[in-house]
Structure 1
């Protein structure tokens, strides 16, 4: 699970670049033998899981040992989501490894945890002009020019590309 709050009107989080998602993991031995050296690892990259190794008896559940955090980057916001999965590995008394991929809402399945990130694209332009008084008479005359400068600013939270300024 994660500690991310969701905006009830949009259904997405308002995380920004640099904000941190904190994860906690529930690990359960769903088998009939004790598992040792139980560890959780991240499958996405950029997330380091802390805690463990632990031992779990049959049916035992641990909800406090393993935690992780991830810092949002611009690519996550540009994608509109951050999707993450983890894997748990344990060792049986016979020395075999058993594994499972995380599920977002219970112990059955392998659905990743998906955090929807609000995207707010916005762009602004400022046009300034400087009159070029080429003959120095402090008056605009035919054939004198105005030099325009455009300042374009990304005022949203997603990367913008192929920006074109058109001055009709």
Structure 2
């Protein structure tokens, strides 16, 4: 083979290896992590809403080109630590999470009927999707409610330095 052809083959092999490496690092459940959190207050600062709520219904959507399936959870807001005029207690918010329960690795998906303490950020999508929210920090912004307890346990440890349990009163400064 000529030197040019060998160089082209080597470049193609490196490109393919790089693409496989990037694909292997992606997570269907939480999407891209722009930052790891070292405190509750830093995660709260990056969130537009910090609420407790119960998931009322879920559906799967393929409404963003090349993004794959997304689970949409309608959450009834029970109480708020940080909110805006559109999301007081008693209102609803739609939470977007990459992946579905049928994914091979669904990660930390909200569950219908369960109650959570959630740190939420605007979706920054266009049109009607702009009113929806992502969980701040992927699974970092999900604390799970347990029957008979007033605090919430951390849903999934992704390496952030966050407390294992939080109450709504501690949700901004924990």
Higher helix share: 2
Higher strand share: 1
- Fold match, TM over 0.5? no
Question: Taking structure 2 as the reference length, what is the TM-score of the superposition?
Answer: 0.20
Larger Rg: 1
Question: Taking structure 1 as the reference length, what is the TM-score of the superposition?
Answer: 0.21
